[in-house]
Amino acid sequence: MRLLVDAHCFDYPTSEGINTYLKGLYSELPRIAPEVDFYFAARDIAKLQNIFGSAANVHYVKLAASSKVGRLLTEIPGIIRRYRIDYAHFQYTAPLIKNCKTIVTLHDILFKDYPKMFPLSYRLSRGWLFKDSAKRADLLLTVSDYSRNRIAEHYGIPREKIFVTPNAVSEDFFHIDAERASSFAKKNGLGNYILYVSRIEPRKNQAALLRAYHGLRLDTKGYDLIFIGRKTLPVPDFDNLLASLPDTEKQHIRIYNQVGYEELKLWYKAASLFVYPALAEGFGIPPIEAGAAGVPCICSNRTAMGDFMFFGKNLIDAANPEILQSAIAANLSAPAVDTCKIRSAIHSTYNWKSIAEKFHNRLKTASI
């Protein structure tokens, strides 16, 4: 079997959930499935080689098109013909010209249930394309039971025809050097701090954490607040609240647009507390990364994050300001959960090896 992976997302300077998903899944698959030839396609071949390495069944195809239209309309179908591809794996959107079997991972369709959190242009451009790609897919994947249920309901696709390949945590998150992380924090002039990692947009609900931080006056109690993530949509609630804070409090709040992977792990490990009050997620990777790093984590129980039962008392209705403030205050006094048990649960449930093995078995069944 020859399997093409559209890996163009690695051409972008910033990394998102799609990158984590593809890197995790396909770093394992070539070893698990030696009978499959994998073809990774992107413009930056050198970057792909650093990610997926060298093996007899791993090949790289350089893309020329810089636009989505050019890539999906002509270039990818041409590559499929040239290399006699049997299956091609796409994220969200597959080419209109279908000249091989397609695998489509539809991570979420949150814009259907939460339209006010997404611009009209986003909803219009994704609406038909996502549905068409999902319905034409020979193997349709998603990342959580929540997303599977919503796709089935909105697109009229039988639930049993949607296969869940969840996200996972890279093994190195379980082995971050604590002393190095502490030195990193001190070098950045930090002692105790609360961390949030994710791009900034309305559904991520950073404003709730900022409001709780201000309400508890944590700047006067020795805690800084760190946000890591680029702004992808307007967030007037967050911006207006931040602007209204006194300068003495703002000095304890930092926003980093993007940090490198190795640095990100240190940010996690050195944090006193990780808080994730998102309102809607197709999965929600940052909380399980924090949990794997051994950091106390407060996580929203909304949408797909309701699956993270291992967070125990820290899985909360983060949309309720009083509940969120109380949870933060309690965890800063004494962690409400056993971080060792949480790490163990995350490791056993969300690891790329087992997820890749299940996907491989599904792929073999689908190709019969």
Same fold, 2-168+351-367 and 171-349: yes
Residue 352's pLDDT is: 97
Q: Which token pair is 279? A: 């309102």
For residues 25 and 351, what is the distance between their CA atoms, to the nearest angstrom?
Answer: 10
Residue 367's pLDDT is: 67
Taking 50 as the pLDDT cut, the residues of the chain under it are: none
User: Which CATH code for domain 171-349?
Assistant: 3.40.50.2000
Half-sphere exposure of 23 (CA within 13 A, CB side): 18
- For tokens 């490990």, what's the residue? 269
Domain 2-168+351-367 in CATH: superfamily?
Answer: Glycogen Phosphorylase B; (3.40.50.2000)
For residues 190 and 270, what is the distance between their CA atoms, to the nearest angstrom?
Answer: 9
Half-sphere exposure of 326 (CA within 13 A, CB side): 11
User: Do 313 and 336 touch, CB atoms closer than 8 A?
Assistant: yes
Residue 125's pLDDT is: 87
Residue 57's pLDDT is: 97
Q: Which residues pair with 102 in a beta bridge?
A: 88
Q: Where are the domains of the chain?
A: 2-168+351-367, 171-349
Q: Which token pair is 285? A: 């990777």
User: Do 66 and 47 touch, CB atoms closer than 8 A?
Assistant: no
